Structure 1
């Protein structure tokens, strides 16, 4: 199982489904209310994906978006973040590499995509 994870600042209701419907088939995601956890599914090249939204990440203003499946629409978190940023026009952040749960985060830099461009920043 592979996954993509990005963080969306000030996520608006319906924004994720409006973006994803252009990249996947049979999207079943009710993101009309993004104040609590939302789980859904979709198909990509005939393979089932799990789509999850977790609000309140990193100081409450960000929502974690996780897409899991055997095949994914993007090859890396940064590719996914770029696509989301173009569609949602709000700040998107993602990990720069292959961090795994349980590994230390020592001043880790994150990609930040917003109107200023793409930059690696310390999340604070």
Structure 2
């Protein structure tokens, strides 16, 4: 892994059903196993390129329109959150947001990427 690779990946998906997210996870992994599910929270283990990757989905975070998708370990096809956001926005045809810098000390925690289709912009997202 390169030094620039984020240790985990987290994106926020706007107005997307759990079923659509599950189908998207199936498209990026060789295998998807649901570990637990309760209202609003779903845990999965993905098999990606021989690596087991735990994924946690939280619905209705940051307002009722947003769902968090957290790949707890970055054995994903993406180097950074923004790379995942681009892929998810295209596949899910919705707006995706992710932290701009990957949570480095001294960074502005309110600076986010807003990705929708081919449009990307840095925004301040105050929740």
Length-normalised TM-score, structure 1: 0.82
What is the aligned length?
Answer: 120
Once residues 38 and 115 of structure 2 are traced to their aligned partners in structure 1, the CA distance between those partners, rounded to angstroms, is: 21
* TM-fit CA distance, 1:24: 1.1
Change (3 A) 1:88 1:29: farther
Length-normalised TM-score, structure 2: 0.80
Flag structure 2 segments of 5+ consecutive residues without an equivalent.
1-5
Change (3 A) 1:71 1:61: same
Deviations 1:64-109 (A, max 9, x none): 1001226222100000000000011111000111216xx6775732
- Asked whether 1:68 is paired with 2:72, we answer yes
Cα RMSD (Å): 2.6
- For the residue of structure 1 that corresponds to 2:64, the secondary structure is coil
Deviations 1:13-69 (A, max 9, x none): 311122122221111248xx9951011111111110101111121122111100122
Flag structure 1 segments of 5+ consecutive residues without an equivalent.
none
- Of residues 45, 52, 56, the one that matches 1:52 is 56
